[in-house]
Amino acid sequence: MKLEYSIIKLKMCETFSIAYGAYNERKTLVVTLSYAGKKGYGECVEIDYYGIRLQDFVPKLALLQSELALLSIKHPKEFFLWLAGFSLPSFLLSALDCAYWDLYGKLENQSFIELNALPDLPKTESSITIPIAPINEQVRKIESSHWSKFKVKCKSLNIEYLEKLNTLGKPIAIDANASFTVDDCLLIQKTAWVQNFSYFEQPLPIGQFQHLDAGKFALWMADEDAQNQSVLPQLSLHYAAINIKLMKCGGLTPALDMIKKAKSLGFKVMLGCMTESSVGISAACALSGLLDFADLDGANLIANDFAHGSFVENGKIILSDAPGLGISLF
């Protein structure tokens, strides 16, 4: 098996502002696994607030290139166990795991959905992200959009803003990116009309979830607090939903297990994304038949997508019927 990789700059369609900062571009690492004339693709992005620098992955990829050259094709779950022996960061692990599922499916002439006997129809539509901006600008974007579901970013709690969004009568979620205070959350979860919002995502910094009550009015959703399935039992009294991201948990293989575990504990499950190309979005879309919520707009937010596969159009998740993850590059 042959491993190749490249680092590409993704350019945003507009300045993207969240509580962690604003940016106009992202760097993404695309890995390619080749065997017997077939190619599989995976992706991970550079995220400063996660401490992810793609250049740090280059020595690990150099080591893997020689190891993979000697490796025979095996089932993707066995391949994931093999990868686990290298103690890779979850972002890089995800790129390799997804690339291998794409390659393996192409070699077997079966899609990821067929290989795992998953539902082949998405259960929900994806939201589109509304970046931090003055509330009138956010409202204008929502009212002029062809999408039906929205995730509104904010940097702190402003009840008047929430009241204005509530009057729109649309499915709207609030993503605080850990910018709320404990007092903010205590107020929100005892306010009945906040039930009109789809969910409130990661309101507090990591580890402060003990202040949240899953039995109150707000549907709290864990993002950074839900890194992997081992933490889920301790979150169940505080969060009603979790946001799984492939790069955060390590790829499609652990995501399947995490979804199963989350469902068994009564969580609603969303699959989210970073700002990424259709390489990463195609992998995430393959799980859409298992989800209660989806936030898979990453490729819609960039101006220089370079891949074909599954995609999201005005919120509707369109699954590729091609083998593997259905990914090809322009």
Q: What is the pLDDT of residues 56-88, one digit of tens each?
A: 999 999 999 999 999 999 999 999 999 999 999
Percent of the chain with pLDDT over 90: 98
pTM of the model: 0.96
CA distance 240 to 218: 9
CA dist 296 to 270, 275, 293, 315, Å? 10, 9, 10, 9
Summarised one tens digit per residue, pLDDT across range 12-33 is 999 999 988 899 999 999 999 9
Give residue 217's pLDDT: 98
- What one-letter code names the amino acid at 164? K
- β-pairing, 241-244 vs 268-271, is parallel
- Residue 198 pLDDT class (50, 70, 90 cuts): very high
∠ CA 36-40-46, nearest 5°, is 145
pLDDT of residue 232: 97
Could you write out the DSSP letters of every residue in 65-106? HHHHTTPPP--HHHHHHHHHTT---HHHHHHHHHHHHHHHHH
Task: State the chain's mean pLDDT as an integer.
Answer: 97
pLDDT at 328 > cutoff 90: yes
Do 92 and 44 touch, CB atoms closer than 8 A? yes
pLDDT of residue 92: 98
φ/ψ bin of 87: left (φ > 0), alpha (ψ from -120 to 50), beta (otherwise): left
The interaxial angle of helices 252-264 and 76-84, nearest 10 deg, is 100
- 3 state DSSP class of 129: strand
What's the pLDDT score for residue 49? 85
β-sheet bridge partners, residue 25 = 11
Token pair belonging to 20? 């962690």
pLDDT digits (tens, 9 = 90+) for 261-314: 999 999 999 999 999 999 999 999 999 999 999 999 999 999 999 999 999 999
Convert the pLDDT of each residue in 125-182 to its tens digit.
999 999 999 999 999 999 999 999 999 999 999 999 999 999 999 999 999 999 999 9
Per-residue model confidence (pLDDT) at position 59: 95
Domains and CATH numbers, the chain: 2-110 (3.30.390.10), 115-329 (3.20.20.120)
Other C-beta atoms within 10 Å of 256: how many?
18
What per-residue confidence (pLDDT) applies to 84? 94
Q: What is the DSSP string of 178-245?
A: T---HHHHHHHTT-GGGGGSS-EE--S-TT-GGG--TTSSS-EEESTT-SSGGGHHHHTTT-SEEEE-
pLDDT at 50: 87
How far is the C-alpha of 142 from the C-alpha of 21, rounded, in Å? Answer: 22
Distance CA 280, CA 246 (A): 8
- Terminal Cα-to-Cα distance of the chain (whole angstroms): 22
pLDDT of residue 226: 96
pLDDT digits (tens, 9 = 90+) for 267-282: 999 999 999 999 999 9
